[in-house]
A and B are shown apart, each in its own frame.
Chain A
Amino acid sequence: MKTVKRSKVSAVWIGWVILGLLLGACVPAATPTPAVVEKPVEVTRIIEVTPTPPATPTPRFAGVTLTLLDNPEGQTENMIALQKRCEEKTGIRLNVEVVPHGEVRPKLLAALANKLPTYDLFYVDIIDLPQYAAAGYTYPLEGFLTPEMRADILPFAEKGVIYEGKWIALPWKAEWMSFVYNKKMLKDAGYDRPPRTWDELIQMSLDLKKKGIVKYPMVFSWAANYEQVTVDYVMLVKSLGGELFDAQGNPVFNQGAGVQALQLMYDMMHKYEIIDPAALTLRGGGKRRDVMLAGQGAFVFLWGTPLLVMNDPAKSPRAGEFDIALAPAGPGGPYSVAGPMGWAISAYSKNPEAAWEFLRCIAGPEGEKFMFLKEGAPPGWKSVLNDPEVSMKLKQAGGDVMLQQAAFLAMRPALPYYQEWSAAMQKAIQEVLTKQKTPQKALEEVAAYTRELKAKYGR
């Protein structure tokens, strides 16, 4: 009996190993073009071995290897091409590490908190920039910048790269939210244009509701612990002509437009009933987009280039019904929100000069122009926007509205304690929208907490 069992156990093990090997071998082998799999490795190897063409006679940084940290969305084919171009130009060998979008932060912190030179280049979201800069994780760019560059930056992109008056990063893909509406629904209700103000939007929504076209015309996603809640609040405060902080950095969102904005959120949900209360459980632009695609909403704010998917018959059941307009205005203007990013150099990089050279190639005017022409990524430099090739392409793409919006972009506050502030704000807004607190009371509490944070972390 014992021997039988033992042989069975070993047979199980053999089976395990065989199955494991089979699966392991099969899965990558199923790739139709194994050559593609090897591509990035091959590319870099070729660059290293074959001397670069005479266009760049002696690259200063030949032999230097840099590591860049990015998320999957960043590494498009065009970005890969741009990186390759910059490798050729500078002689630097680039090692790209791609990490899930939500995981860039822990990954980066594991290296930076230990002061390790693991990464040379990484991107920073505007909301993280003050925190990273204050912690001393970023290499100061002041010494590298040319006066032309300082003069060339676009005003809203500037906020994404400068903290306490110092350049921390170079601007990158400054995206913002666009106001998307369903033109077919509006037409059915007898409107031939999108709403221009928040009052108009409320009127139209009530009308759409009354005519039975859509139950909850305005689509938001205000789930808990979700940055979008803060984003939408910041937008409304700015639209209503208010500010979050005064010139000394003291909270003023607990008075005037700050309170009105939260009241407007409440009214749209509970008084006019044009926002679905289920919005408090929705998270992700994908959910907002889905609601629109299912015909359960008429107005929405979406990041990036949403129409690419929404008007594509292969991906959208309502292709062709959507269009972009300027955001509805309040007394402050037709504001939307920008979420600019920047590329930064690690304070612990062993080759900051080489990193700067590479950074300039990628996120400088030339690189940004390339990325705009290839995939319409909004540039952060004036010279790129004024470039004839770019402005022509912009006109073709109907970027007029997007460009108009660029003049009205609100920014979230640059605070080294932004994470806490935003989390407190999100909680306060949720408490108001679930009828636990009044806007005034909830915002007073956030203001008090903000003052505490400022006392602790402000310098």
Chain B
Amino acid sequence: MSVELAEIRDFVAPLPPFSLLDAATLDALPKQLAVRYLRRGSDFPPADEAPALYLVRKGAIERRDAHGSLVDMLAEGDVFAAPCLGGDGSDRCTAVEDTLVYLLPCPALQALRRAQPAFDAHFAQSTAERLRHARRGTAFGADETAADPLAQPVGAFAARTPVAAPPTLSIREAAQRMSEARVSALMIVDGERLAGIVTDRDLRRRCLAAGLSPEAPVTAIMSAPVASIGPESPAFEALLAMTRLGIHHLPLVDAGGVRGLVSSTDLLRRQGTATVHLARRVRRCASPAALTAAAGELPELQLRLAAAGAGAAQVGQALTAIYDAVSCRLIELAEGELGPPPVPYAWAACGSQGRHEQTVHSDQDNALVVHDDYRPEAHGAWFAALAQRVNDGLDACGVRYCPGRVMASNAEWRQPQRAWCDYFAAWIGQADQRAAMLAANFLDLRVIRGDPALLAPVHATVVRECAQHELFLARMTANALANRPPLGFFRNFLLEHGGAHVDAFDIKRGGLLPISDLARVHALAAGRAEIGTLARLHAVAGGPTLSAEGAQELAEAFEFLGGLRLRHQSAQLRRGETPDNLIAPAALSALERAELKAAFAAIGRQQAVLAQRYAVGREV
């Protein structure tokens, strides 16, 4: 028999949280509802109703706080559960159109919550839990680790028991041990300590070809010191490290000692070859034109990683690794033509590249820190030429020129170390907004080629200084509050503070950037030198300025928004469009809107907490 009131069931079925009910419960739901009609201008909820959950069938309702500021707007399909969730009732709500609403009495809601755990979780979960669930759940396809083996801890890929030998062995004994265990690499372990590594290739090149006696100690041909990685790191990072270092084996080491060894073949056999191949290809490019062609494959790479289930953080790492490689190669090619640098220097990236958060839509942000021996009249031309070539090359590779001209080709950002020290001192001491904006930008500087020692002391001093300057932190806070997330949705529009409706949402400006800005202020206040947004949040969680829950909430919102952007850009790439950061509400499911609204609310909450701490006023 067909369901009575099927029309109402069908209307309610896709709306969260009702979408979480099982089919039989959903069929029975309409009979538990009542219907009310509110004329435009009426108070909401109606004064003569017992507390209930409200669902807007048609029309629009406006929510304002006790001060009269717009808090939210409800339209078709929006749920208002506050009367059943102990809302304080201080909001004033008004129907702003003739409105038809469905009511579910609070006792009926409680009964549904008791009977349906998934439905209950929607109300009981914290924002962080909800967003994590959304990221892992249906919103972005399969479970991340199931979809992408390389998201698993690298330890899962290591051989059964690590094949290791003491440094006292001869080369012959080491070779015998490798043959018996059928491995191509042997770790040399001195007690708990990893002393070095010997591979088939070392036996060939450093022993046989060099005419060394097989009775010589194995330490004579081993590679040392050896890079290593923790067994809990994602396999992805191990692969990227091997690519960066040009090696094929990576020991797994943690506080307890040597845990195993993975080879690039172990990992590549599983998946993720695309990143590594592209990085190799970039390193072999002989001209900027060849680099442009290689970088043309980056959109395809982003698509494939996202399709394989990689999260936003992983994709950001992978893309930044390639863009770093492109930058390095452009610098090498320029040096090849310009001759060796007249004084040492460091090429540094800031912005999303600095934070390892690039996508195929990112701009370039970079700067040059030159040794203090720099003399403009003698060396200026060389560095100007270098910067111009690299900036042009990056633009040709799809990393567009920075609209704010934060690039090494801008003489202002191509300076000796002492000038950078003066810059930071001035930014910390000055009171204008531009200073805070520039400081925020250059606090994300990361050396990608050249001498890291040129930037390290500047960065360390700045981080130390910042924590002492409450006024500077207050200005950084004001800067971090410049971009506010929207209030929510109203039909197919984004609802901004003050009530403006816009039909597209800049997920970077209104979501990701505010979180990065918050993370930076908290890191500065705690004197932490981390640069990535998630790393910063992790470092300051539970500290004096940010609660553990607050940090978790922001981190989950950051990953959720990053995942949403990734999916948006994937869809654009598949349609042959240029990827961007603009998301249309019409393209989102009701569930995604609900999760997105939870993320907005989390950002808004943490902005308010910070604003209060540094007594920064917020413009409405």
- Is this pair of chains taken from one and the same complex? no
Which residues of B are at the interface with A, using a C-beta cutoff of 8 A? Answer: none
